[in-house]
Structure 1
């Protein structure tokens, strides 16, 4: 199936462009070690990503998806995490296969590209630069750029307004139900990748407009703008 050709393409970061779990799990386990609490490991961290680093730290402290840890413990843990993640951010993270080729194809077609993530700006920009994809985007909206983040539609609508593009002529590319919910609320089309972070759930259950295994499939699901 080929979707209507969009004017604007927004792309999620963690789980869509970049596998950042190795760095995140290193920081989480280092944080837990300093707090003299059990380390959680990469497998659990992979299931917990998707709602920003504050929620990730809370999930690590609680060893579960939902709930709120004791406030003082969280503040101490979050400080440790930020120090550790700042040190290791981008050291072991990698672009997913075919991402570089997919971005090059989108740019060759003249698409406006923006990166939309719930990751804080202090971590987002260095990570994009470390993996040499920062310059591919005309706009980067991080988790603390605006008052709301995904699944709220505000970041998507802000991008559409910034480029003066109708949301109904815009496309979100992501990996999680957060991306699907944000896109639906904003009136965007939504394509999801199969390999990302969706808390262990099959992204097809969220019913995006299309599902792809890699960015190499863009020509088949979006088509040529030229």
Structure 2
């Protein structure tokens, strides 16, 4: 099972465009995608901090968050693409008889349109969004729900993600964990401190990690 943003797909261009449009509407200078990319893994919180230097405690945060969601919904499939090697990896896993799925903190209202816009996800055995269960990662419940839907014990599953909360959730669920270091990671992240079972710097490395042909 995989996290979505920063692990399977590069959604930073659309997320960055959405929040940057909010800056431009306020007569603030546009910022480069490279400014937003390191904050992408933190979702709306990260994007709003990058664009306006605010935190969820700010008085206008909730209003800005809803404005961001509206802007993102209008552009979320325009520039988002799978990371290089991801399509080949998923084809290889299927050829070996392995099922794969998605467990993301992204809300269903965004997850469904994005996954439906890419043929890549037609073969996913399960897709769990951030609001599919009452809890989001790092709580293990989304991963446990995925394993239930697959009728597999958590110990038979492996979870790949690019954020510390992915690894924490996977470990709490009793799954093996892999840190995708090619993802967003965030600023100042020390992946070794996450204590994942393994790390990969490109998607296809997962096959070698699993010792598959």
TM-score by length of 2: 0.89
The corresponding residue for 1:43 is 34
Tell me whether 142-151 or 44-53 shows the greater mean CA deviation: 44-53
Consecutive unaligned residues of structure 2, counting only runs of 5 or more, are none
Note if contact 1:52-1:143 (Cα within 8 Å) is conserved in structure 2: no
Query: In structure 2, which of residues 154, 160, 163 is the aligned counterpart of residue 173 of structure 1?
Result: 160
Query: In structure 2, which of residues 45, 49, 58 is the aligned counterpart of residue 69 of structure 1?
Result: 58
CA distance in 1, matches of 2:62, 2:23: 13
Tell me whether 162-171 or 96-105 shows the greater mean CA deviation: 162-171
Question: C-alpha displacement at 1:176, in angstroms?
Answer: 1.3
Note if contact 2:10-2:83 (Cα within 8 Å) is conserved in structure 1: yes
CA distance in 1, matches of 2:29, 2:66: 18
Structure 2 counterparts to residues 24-173 of structure 1, below 5 A: 24-36=15-27, 39-53=30-44, 55-60=45-50, 62-63=52-53, 67-70=56-59, 73-173=60-160
Note if contact 2:163-2:185 (Cα within 8 Å) is conserved in structure 1: yes
The corresponding residue for 1:211 is 199
Note if contact 2:7-2:162 (Cα within 8 Å) is conserved in structure 1: yes
The corresponding residue for 2:178 is 191
Runs of 4+ in structure 1 displaced over 6 angstroms? none
Question: C-alpha displacement at 1:166, in angstroms?
Answer: 1.0
Structure number with the bigger relative contact order (C-alpha 8 A, sep ≥ 6) is 1
CA distance in 1, matches of 2:41, 2:179: 14
Consecutive unaligned residues of structure 1, counting only runs of 5 or more, are 1-9
> Alpha carbon RMSD of aligned pairs, Å?
2.1
TM-score by length of 1: 0.85
Note if contact 1:20-1:93 (Cα within 8 Å) is conserved in structure 2: yes
CA distance in 2, matches of 1:94, 1:169: 29
CA distance in 2, matches of 1:76, 1:41: 24
Note if contact 1:193-1:214 (Cα within 8 Å) is conserved in structure 2: yes
The corresponding residue for 1:3 is none
Q: What per-residue deviation string (whole Å, max 9, x for no partner) do you get for residues 185-226 of structure 1?
A: 11110112221112122423312111112221222111349x
Q: What per-residue deviation string (whole Å, max 9, x for no partner) do you get for residues 10-44 of structure 1?
A: 11111001111110000011123334556554233
CA distance in 2, matches of 1:38, 1:202: 31
CA distance in 2, matches of 1:146, 1:62: 31
Q: How many residues align?
A: 212
